[in-house]
Chain A
Amino acid sequence: MNYEPVIGLEVHVQIKTKSKAFCGCSTEFGAEPNSQVCPVCLGFPGSLPVLNASFLDAAIKVAVALGCQVQEFTKFDRKHYFYPDLPKNYQISQYDLPLALNGFVDIELESGAKRIRVKRVHLEEDAGKLIHADKMSLVDFNRTGMPLLEIVSEPDLYSPQEAYEYLNNLKSILSYLDISDCDMEKGSLRCDANISVRPKGEEKLGIKSELKNLNSFRAVRDSLTYEIERQVGALGVGEKIIQETRLWDDKESKTYSMRSKGEAKDYRYFPDPDLPPFIIKFSKVDEIRKALPELPKEKQVRLMRDFGLSEYDAGILVFSKKDAEYSEDCMRKYPKENKKQVANLLIGPLLSEANNRNCRLVGLDLSAENLLELIDYVDSNKISHLTAKIVLTEMIDTKKKASVIIQEKNLVQISDTSSLNISIEEVIKENDKSVQDFKNGKENALMFLVGQVMKKTKGKANPKILQELLRGRLKDA
């Protein structure tokens, strides 16, 4: 039987505020354990949580950017469970009246564009951090009460690749909004995945497992691929899938069943009596909507229009906000009308340099001015594209300017006919057979001779001029 997977994702993004969600403790990362806690985030009796206004504003910003309907009335609920990372024994979250509903994220697939629906966006607080030692667990409550947004997709994703694209696009939007570091390593962006399989053509959803411990987008994709195979395999031999939480083991590349938390799903939500509800006026939402920065899709369209880039090229460049700004700066400062030369360099050699170094374009620390100086050398035929690539690597490694490297290594192309003619004469003398071959109509022989002159000039001969000179010289010979 043919099965199809159905995937829904829950993304938690930590909002970048100075203080926590409901108290004045710092949100700074990496402080000494339990040095950023107070009676409120530790849930001491008599303490009173009060919502951080910047947290709410950032949440509305995300909701609007995702095309959600921000709800006029929203409230906080207590989600109860007992675990050492939760000092209050409940988490302040939102249950039946979340901040926002019904948004979407558009993704690009080989088969075309697809709209993934966002079911809801709600505010909540983070739990503490457990560090597991040999025979005990250490508890640090600094993360307790950190402002989190939970973004829940509808089960609209039908392959691990679609899930991967959704996450990348969502992260791109969030990074443009500048409301979070979106750093998975620091835990400011986290993702859980719900996955089930069903026979193709079947409407009803299968029984899902919830995947946790997904520490990268790649881990999300790989764990989903594994889980689809596991579920389809189990169904194939007549086993039943049970609803459970499974942990992804990145080293082993497989998921395993988490020790059953019993009835831990029974969270016994009820409205938090400490937090009065919120009425969000349309005017407030509208004000935030009007102040939204340019989003990736809009920037893509503008780069296409302003700089004549293809949809594909623009799509690559807008992915990261900082890279997009850098690329735009380079193209704006480039004096020529046609920006293709710059775009090609950014998407080609520069992006591969960045990938090799595991960083973004801006991480290469190459100023627009220095990059444009290099391009000018190519444009004026002083160096070839090939040499430009070598110079580029050197620029990134040594932080030297293109002009300095080209001078130091004597890389300027030889366009001067008299000095090229000397090499040409030598090559003609040394390669009598090829000269004859060319005269007998073998076009390939010319390329061989060009190569020989190139060798003599250590690759610095201007290929166009060289070819013209050589052709002319052979006609006369």
Chain B
Amino acid sequence: MQITKDTVKYVAALARIELKEEELARLSGQLEGILNFIDKLKEADVSQVSPTSHILTVNNVLRKDELKTSLKPEKVLNNAPHKEGTSFVVPKVI
């Protein structure tokens, strides 16, 4: 599969990252390599295998509706570059 610079730009926008022109070129090559590698899976014969959504054979893992102690707000905000009171502060997003 061919990955164009536009595709890389598109994926970068979804991930909210900015890329320079030379990075676009480099990454399009790398992404193409990764996808081609994954395409190897297509060579496997899966005609006898049913689709799976999970690798484990367990299911119905549930917990009781019980409270556990939450983190203290000071701890939650410990690594936050910007805070006000016990809230995180981010650039205005609306």
Contacts and interface: CB of A to CB of B under 8 A. Distances in A.
A binds B: yes
Given A24-B68, A138-B84, A138-B88, 19 more contacts: A17-B65, A24-B69, A26-B70, A33-B86, A38-B68, A42-B76, A51-B61, A53-B64, A75-B54, A82-B16, A130-B94, A132-B92, A133-B92, A137-B94, A263-B14, A264-B14, A266-B14, A271-B53, A276-B60
Interface in B58-93: 58-73, 76-77, 82, 84-93
B41 interface: no
Contact of A276 (B54, B64, B88): B54
Contacts of A56: 62
A268 interface: yes
Given A33-B87, A34-B86, A132-B94, A276 B61 contact: yes
Contacts, number: 133
A139 B88 CA distance: 5
A80 B15 CA distance: 9
Contacts of A137: 89-94
Interface residues of B, number: 39
Contacts of B60: 276, 278-279
Nearest to A18: B65
Given A33-B86, A277-B54, A38 B70 contact: yes
A82 to B, nearest CB: 5
A130 B68 contact: no
A157 B83 CA distance: 45
Given A33-B86, A35-B86, A276-B56, A19 B61 contact: no
Given A17-B65, A262-B13, A271-B53, A33 B85 contact: yes
B6 to A, nearest CB: 12
B38 interface: no
Given A32-B73, A34-B77, A262-B13, A51 B62 contact: yes
7 contacts: A24-B67, A24-B69, A34-B73, A42-B71, A136-B90, A138-B89, A262-B13
B90 A84 contact: yes
A84 B93 contact: yes
Interface of A: 17-19, 23-26, 32-39, 42, 50-56, 75, 80, 82-84, 97, 130-133, 135-141, 262-264, 266, 268, 271, 273, 275-279
Interface of B: 10, 13-16, 53-56, 58-73, 76-77, 82, 84-94
Given A35-B70, A276-B61, A138 B55 contact: no
Contact of A50 (B61, B71, B91, B93): B61
A275 B55 CA distance: 11
A55 B66 CA distance: 12
B71 to A, nearest CB: 6
Contacts of A32: 73, 86
A32 B85 CA distance: 9
7 closest residue pairs by CB, A with B: A24-B68, A54-B65, A138-B87, A139-B88, A271-B53, A53-B62, A50-B63
Contacts of A75: 53-54
A277 B86 contact: no
